């Protein structure tokens, strides 16, 4: 058994990242400034879009909040989304005083079932908020034709899908707004917390940029670097959602290694798939089709009905083997807040409920060693053969 606990998704932070972060610490400016601008520029170029449409923020949750604020829908407007996501996706809808309308997922892709979306569209439907689950892009051809047909707005939650593409088009470039996470476990981290909002329209971007820093007309860095004294104005009641130069310095390093790290993630996923296929597990289908680029954010397996142990028992046993896991996710109706508020009775979203009660994500990170990969496989085999 391993001596050291294997963190589920240990961030890959290099010596160079530490040097970059110390430079910022020694520079006398650790807040939002030139390094954030540089990070935005590099991310924009990674996505082949204009820099002015990219705003670095302190989280994906902040990006989702700004997107819905900018869309300014009437209270109780309906937003169609997935019941298989992190609570933050749904909280952003609830906190904007809007109503989430759930569409069950597809069992193979774990993404929203595009064939079930139209039956949920009403006069109150204003937007689709989609999640590219585990890094597999949603079926964007079908999504875009629904959005067009019903004149809906589209928000992409790209927390899992930094590197993903559909038909050669990058995730985050389809939506009116797209939200990325650089949280500690994500394919790219800014050192713990961070995010980016991409807006399709320039005017949305400049509105959201103001909102992200209290609604101030100029950010602090611009003020302090201008010659002469001037007052800032407050033009909106905004938020405190800005990213810092310290965080951005770590993000810049990670972004330069993102494709290399994706190759490492692919190798780990293939190793798991090759070595676990004889066990009573349903392994992910990575859809190696030409039109898909998968970000391999999660290696999310389902425990088959034939298994002698259930998901929670497997999680417990892996923990005893010093192996950290993730659950992505329990179906949204399992959480008391949403269950009570939206009357989410059992069997309302059967596919999501099945996945929610049987899934487990195995450790996956570009920082994993060969020993880490082997120890995970060995532990699982031992658990199933006991």
Ligand X SMILES: Cc1ncc(COP(=O)(O)O)c(C=O)c1O
By the criterion CB under 6 A, which residues form the site for ligand X? 59-61, 85-86, 88-89, 131, 157, 159-160, 181, 183, 195
Q: At its nearest, how many Å lie between ligand X and the CB of residue 131?
A: 5
Q: At its nearest, how many Å lie between ligand X and the CB of residue 24?
A: 21
- Which residues are CB-neighbours of 254 under 8 A, at least 6 positions away? 12, 17, 182, 188, 189, 190, 261
CB nearer to ligand X: give 20 or 187.
187
CB nearer to ligand X: give 60 or 252.
60
Q: At its nearest, how many Å lie between ligand X and the CB of residue 158?
A: 8
Query: Measured between alpha carbons, how far is residue 309 from residues 27, 189, 321, 382 in Å?
Result: 54, 34, 16, 13
Select from 167, 79, 183, 168 the least CA-distant residue to 131: 79
CB nearer to ligand X: give 100 or 383.
100
Q: At its nearest, how many Å lie between ligand X and the CB of residue 244?
A: 15
| CB of 43 closer than 8 Å to CB of 179 | no
Largest Cα–Cα separation, the chain: 74
Select from 196, 203, 273, 206 the least CA-distant residue to 242: 196
DSSP letter assigned to residue 331: -
Q: At its nearest, how many Å lie between ligand X and the CB of residue 296?
A: 14
Q: At its nearest, how many Å lie between ligand X and the CB of residue 290?
A: 26
Query: Measured between alpha carbons, how far is residue 13 from residues 107, 136, 184, 296 in Å?
Result: 34, 25, 10, 19
Q: At its nearest, how many Å lie between ligand X and the CB of residue 251?
A: 12
CB nearer to ligand X: give 300 or 375.
300
CB nearer to ligand X: give 86 or 338.
86
| CB of 258 closer than 8 Å to CB of 187 | yes
Q: What strands lie across the sheet with 299-303, from one edge to the other?
A: 281-282, 299-303, 359-362
CB nearer to ligand X: give 326 or 379.
326
Long-range contacts of 344-349 (CB under 8 A, 24+ apart): 344/83, 344/102, 348/102, 349/83, 349/102, 349/104, 349/105
CB nearer to ligand X: give 73 or 180.
180
- Which residues are CB-neighbours of 205 under 8 A, at least 6 positions away? 52, 53, 54, 55, 199
| CB of 121 closer than 8 Å to CB of 80 | yes
Distance CA(190)–CA(249), nearest Å, equals: 8
CB nearer to ligand X: give 46 or 182.
182
Q: At its nearest, how many Å lie between ligand X and the CB of residue 19?
A: 25
Q: Would you list the DSSP string of 257-284?
A: THHHHHHHHHHHHHHHHHHHTTSSEEPP
CB nearer to ligand X: give 3 or 240.
240
Q: At its nearest, how many Å lie between ligand X and the CB of residue 297?
A: 8
Distance CA(45)–CA(364), nearest Å, equals: 27
């Amino acid at each position: 058994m391993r001596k050291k606990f294997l963190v589920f998704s240990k961030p890959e932070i290099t010596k160079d990242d530490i040097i970059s972060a110390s430079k910022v610490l020694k520079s006398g400016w650790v807040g939002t400034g030139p390094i954030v601008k540089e990070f935005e520029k590099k991310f924009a170029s990674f996505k082949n879009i204009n820099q002015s449409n990219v705003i670095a923020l302190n989280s994906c949750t902040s990006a989702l909040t700004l997107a819905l604020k900018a869309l300014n829908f009437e209270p109780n407007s309906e937003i169609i989304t997935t019941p298989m996501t992190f609570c933050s996706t749904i909280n952003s809808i609830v906190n904007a005083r809007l109503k989430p309308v759930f569409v069950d997922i597809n069992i193979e892709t774990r993404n929203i079932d595009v064939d079930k979306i139209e039956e949920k569209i009403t006069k109150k439907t204003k937007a689709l908020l989609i999640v590219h689950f585990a890094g597999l892009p949603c079926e964007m051809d079908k999504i875009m034709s629904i959005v067009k047909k019903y004149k809906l707005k589209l928000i992409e939650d790209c927390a899992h899908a930094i590197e993903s593409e559909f038909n050669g088009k990058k995730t985050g470039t389809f939506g009116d707004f797209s939200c990325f996470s650089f949280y500690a476990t994500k394919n790219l981290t800014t050192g713990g917390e961070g995010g980016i909002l991409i807006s399709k329209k320039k005017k949305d971007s400049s509105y959201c940029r103001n909102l992200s820093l209290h609604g101030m007309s100029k950010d602090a860095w611009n003020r302090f670097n201008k010659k002469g004294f001037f007052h800032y104005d407050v033009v909106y009641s905004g938020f405190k959602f800005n990213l810092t130069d310290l965080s951005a310095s770590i993000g810049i390093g990670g972004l330069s290694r993102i494709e290399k790290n994706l190759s490492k993630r692919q190798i780990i996923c293939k190793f798991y798939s090759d070595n676990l296929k004889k066990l009573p597990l349903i392994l992910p289908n990575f859809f190696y089709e030409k039109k898909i680029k998968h970000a391999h954010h999660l290696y999310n397996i389902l425990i088959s009905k034939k298994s002698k142990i259930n998901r929670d028992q497997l999680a417990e046993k892996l923990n005893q083997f010093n192996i950290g896991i993730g659950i992505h996710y329990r179906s949204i109706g399992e959480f008391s807040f949403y269950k009570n508020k939206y009357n989410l009775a059992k069997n309302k979203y059967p596919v999501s409920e099945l996945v929610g009660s049987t899934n487990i994500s195995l450790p996956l990170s570009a920082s994993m060693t060969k020993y880490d990969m082997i120890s995970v496989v060995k532990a699982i085999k031992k658990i199933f053969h006991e």
